[in-house]
Structure formats: C-alpha cells, structure tokens
Amino acid sequence: MAAKGVQVIDISKFNLEQLTQFKNQLDQELQFFNDSLQQLKMAQMKFGESGECVEKITPDTKGQEILVPLTSCMYVPGTIADSERVLLDVGTGYYVEKDIEGAKDYFSRKVKYVTEQMEKIQKIASEKNKLREVVMDIMEVKLDQQLQVLKESQGNPAGVAKA
C-alpha cells in the first residue's frame, strides 16, 4: 500500500516519448547526485585534512613557522603564536576560536556529518539508477513491439487480408 500523499504511476503505460522524457529526467537527477557527491567528497577530504593539521599542533610547535592560507591557492608565511588555541573558518567569513581538543572534535563531527549526507545521497542515487534501468527495459520492450508491428505491416500490404 502506498504511503499517504504518494501517487503511484504505472510507467509501463507510458509511450516511448514519455519514457524517453522520464529517462532524461532521471539522467539529469543522477548527474546532479554525482556532482553533489563529488562536492561532498571534497569537503570530507578538506575537513579530514584540517583535523590532521590540528593534530600536529602541540606545545612544541609554538614559535614554528607555517604557511597561512589566505585563499585556496595563496599562502603567506606565519608563526604559531599560541599552540593551545586555533581559529577555525566556519564559512561565510566567520571564524571561531577553539582549543585544540575542541577543534579536533569540530572536524571529526564535520567529517561524520558529511559522510552521513553522502550515504543518504548514495542511497537515493542507487534507487534512481534502479528506476532508470527499469525504464530502459520497458523502452526496449516497447521498441521491440513497435518493430514487430512495423515488420507485420510491411509484410502485409494495406487492404490485403490474411487468410
């Protein structure tokens, strides 16, 4: 039984044009999910790398020189002034000061969250891909049926009845 508010449509009743449009829509959705997964994978890697960098900050690193990112591809030399607290870029120009353990926890939670979102998207994409395969199978059957009708009509000229 379908859930309330969900409409079930029998796609086997679609004609070839409708099936083609539906397949194209599924292709677009799958491409969107793949693009989203790639972006999430990059975010997951960056959060993981940031967490690894925080792991390397110890009391011994105080006063050491580092490269400080100004943009994704521009760095300037700097010195670690405080090895117990770090500034985290939390997006849209906001920064948060955290102790080392708090920063490790932040990046760990971010990696976990992004991983969970990736799993959700992968599940949805898998279902969409299965639906796409079903649509392709139905299209193939309908094409075969049309070819059969075409062959029969070519083998039997119009107006001539078969005995």
Please report, for residues 36, 44, 120, 133, the alpha-carbon distance to residue 32 in angstroms, rounded to integers and kept in the order given: 6, 18, 14, 18
Tokens 């993981």 belong to 48
CA 83 to chain centre: 37
Confidence at 91, pLDDT banded by 50, 70, 90: confident
Structural tokens at position 99 = 């102790």
Residue 8 pLDDT greater than 90, yes or no = no
The top-level CATH class assigned to 30-122 is mainly alpha
Residue 75 pLDDT greater than 80, yes or no = yes
Give the tens place of pLDDT for each residue, 114-153.
Answer: 999 999 999 999 999 999 999 999 999 999 988 998 888 8
Interatomic CA distance for residues 16 and 24, integer angstroms: 12
The number of beta carbons lying within 10 Å of the beta carbon of residue 139 is 17
The number of beta carbons lying within 10 Å of the beta carbon of residue 80 is 15
Confidence at 161, pLDDT banded by 50, 70, 90: low
As a whole number, mean pLDDT of residues 42-64 equals 93
Stretch (H or E) spanning 109: helix 100-155
As a whole number, mean pLDDT of residues 34-46 equals 96
> HEC states along 41-57?
HHHHHHHHHHHHHHHCC
Q: Domain-by-domain residue ranges, the chain?
A: 30-122
